[in-house]
Amino acid sequence: MSFVKTYLLILSGQTWMRIYTPALQGFAFNLDTKAVLTLLKQLCLGTDTEVWIQNIRCGRAAMIALRNHYNGPDEARKRTLEAEAKLKNLFYKHEYRFPFERSNVPIATGVTAIDLDDGSTILLEAAQGLFFGSEMDRFLLNPNQLRAFGVAVCDDPTDKYQSLGIDLNDIMVPMKMIGSICGLISPCPTDEELESCRRF
């Protein structure tokens, strides 16, 4: 067991005033402000920022000028304009930087081979899918689309009463969690499988 020691520092009123309410005038302030101004001018020398403090003779005023330059209303407007320009140039990308705006994507029926636990292979047929040809190396099955076509799907890993998978009446196609995505890995069917395997 570890103990945390707590210390209570009691300051007199005068000490508290000296620490937390320093005067913005007087000998000590003048020394500090000159040191701060010298340091700021050295840091800004040869940069775009130099012009923002070149005529200032007070370190505190120089700090305020720099803060207003970098976090003031003009900078906020500049950042907003930059963000809006970036948003205008954004487009949907997958791993091959394919633009979502492509207008002539054909609708197709896709088929994938599923190897079951008993060693047999079935074909899972998905109608009304977007066909990208060889531009994408994987496709996504939307469980809500499957449900809309009357296919029972369990994609909830916390469901105690159903196992993850696609229920095709007499056949259960198992799925597993791949990171935070529920899915399955299935190959493209061979010509022989296209001819001989059952389709669902």
Summarize pLDDT for 141-184 with one digit per residue, the tens: 778 778 887 888 888 888 888 888 888 888 888 888 887 788 88
Residue that is written with structure tokens 């890995």 in the block: 185
Separation CA 147–CA 168 (nearest Å): 11
Q: Based on the number of CB atoms within 10 Å of its own CB, is 153 exposed (0-12), middle (13-18) or buried (19 or more)?
A: buried
For residue 94, what pLDDT is reported?
Answer: 54
Same domain, yes or no: 42 and 120: no
Q: Are 194 and 111 in contact (CB under 8 A)?
A: yes
**What average pLDDT does the chain have?**
77
Domain assignment present for residue 3? The answer is no
Separation CA 161–CA 154 (nearest Å): 10
Same domain, yes or no: 73 and 126: no
Domain assignment present for residue 135? The answer is yes
Count of structural domains within the chain: 2
- The string of pLDDT tens digits covering residues 23-80 is 677 787 788 888 888 998 888 888 888 888 888 888 888 888 888 777 777 777 888 8
* Domain end point (choices 89, 120, 136): 89
Domain assignment present for residue 8? The answer is no
Q: What is the pTM of this model?
A: 0.44
Same domain, yes or no: 77 and 23: yes
For residue 30, what pLDDT is reported?
Answer: 82
pLDDT of 1 > 50? The answer is: no
For residue 7, what pLDDT is reported?
Answer: 46
The strand order across the sheet containing 171-174 reads: 152-154, 165-168, 171-174
Same domain, yes or no: 183 and 114: yes
Same domain, yes or no: 79 and 134: no
- Containing structural domain, residue 79: 13-89
